[in-house]
Structure formats: structure tokens, C-alpha cells
Amino acid sequence: MAARSSRLAAVFGVLGVGLIGVSAASQAAEPAMKTVPESGLTAGSFLVRGRVVGSIPVGQFSRVEPIGGRVITPARALPDLDVTYFLSDHFAVAGQLGVVSTKTSIRGSLIGDLTIGSTWSFAMTGAVQFHFLPHGPFNPYIGAGAGYTHPIAYEPAKPLITEMKADPQLGPMLQAGFDYHLGGNWYANMECKKIFLPPQVSRIGSGTTTVRLDMLIIGAGIGYRF
């Protein structure tokens, strides 16, 4: 996991440098470009973003006992809402709360393919962000924080599956994205983040599954500055 974290940190570092380079090139090409301090993202600003995101499991590995096979967690599209508060012109904190549903199944077991059911979880992320150009129309940022999920309800695929239970998960998160000023207090947003999750142990009837995966979340949407 440390190796994967180091590789992703390097990728996000390169992305951050690339965003800085794009911003610098844009400023050099348009030296007369006006900033927008009256609606810029400055100290004390609240930015509420709504996005549609794709939640994509990556690096998935699983162990199923005693029937064997592998656990499948499909990618899914989800609504996404976060609130960002600017502590200064460049530093901000971002938080998100919500409830998500995860459907799982087992393929290639000794008794064939099985639908397990759905797990409803309380999900929360928090990050500290650095914004490169808070006064400009194009404002790239990078961030680091953590993601947490806590299962709160289960929908087992009866009658074969009658009981499900999973452990909470907490893992580090890296993100990169940008806001683009559309006019007034409105901003377009694109963001990519990855959450490094620890192994999750689930109990399914009399058996158990152990799943390791990371979540790659890519989305785009609209933000409003207060």
C-alpha cells in the first residue's frame, strides 16, 4: 500500500505541476487579463459544489471463504456535494457528508456466481486544499485528507443470503482539480480524487470475504460562491 501511495503522490504531484504550468502560460499569453476580486475565491469565501461523479474501484483483490471466488464491486455514477471554506486566499478546507449504496456479488465460486446484496454506508471526506490562482478565472488546486465510510444498513439478496455485516473503513485521500469562473458567483468544477482504503472484512451468512481496493472518483459540476 505504501508503494501505491507513493506512486499516486507522484502522479498528483506531476498533475499539480502541470496545472501550475498551464496557469502560468495562460497568464503569460494574456498579461492584460483582469482578475475578478469582487467574485474571486478569497479568504472567508464559502464555495458549495454539486457534481456528478464516477466512483471506480481500482486495484481490487478479494478472498472468499469457504466457497472461493472473487468479490465484484462495480463502478457507479453518484451525485456529489461538498462545501469548501477558504481559510486564506490560497488555503481552504473541504468537507463532504452523504449516504452511498454499494452492490456486491461473487463470481467463480464453488457454487457459481452469487449476488450478495447492497450495503448502505455513511460516507465522509475531508481535505486541506491549496488553490494556486484564487483571484483568477481559472483556479487549479490540489488537496490531501481522508475518507471514511461506516455501514448503516444492509439489503441481502434473499433467500440465499440472509445476513450481511461489514467493517468501517478509513483511508488517506489525494485530490486535484480546478474551478473556472463562469460569471457572477458561479463556477464550473472538475475534480479527481483517490481514496486508499484498508482491507474490508465482511461476514456473509456463515462465510467471510476480505476485499482490498482503492476508490478513484472523477467528476464534474457547478459551484456557487457565498
Indicate the pairing of strand 46-65 with strand 200-204: unpaired
Cβ atoms 123, 99 nearer than 8 A: yes
Q: What is the pLDDT of residue 39?
A: 55
162 — pLDDT class (breaks 50, 70, 90): confident
Q: What is the pLDDT of residue 40?
A: 82
Lowest average pLDDT, out of 21-25, 94-98, 154-158, 207-211, goes to 21-25
CATH value of 2-225 in 2.40.160.20, 2.40.110.10, 3.40.50.720, 3.40.50.1820: 2.40.160.20
Q: What is the pLDDT of residue 207?
A: 86
The pLDDT mean for the chain works out to 85
Average pLDDT over residues 186-210: 92
Q: What is the pLDDT of residue 203?
A: 86
Q: What is the pLDDT of residue 71?
A: 92
Q: What is the pLDDT of residue 23?
A: 47
Stated pTM of the model: 0.77
Tell whether the model's pLDDT for residue 167 goes beyond 80. yes
Lowest average pLDDT, out of 93-97, 108-112, 168-172, goes to 108-112
The 10s digit of each residue's pLDDT in 25-51 is 444 444 434 444 455 899 999 999 999
Q: How far is the CA of 204 from the CAs of 153, 156, 197, in angstroms?
A: 14, 9, 20
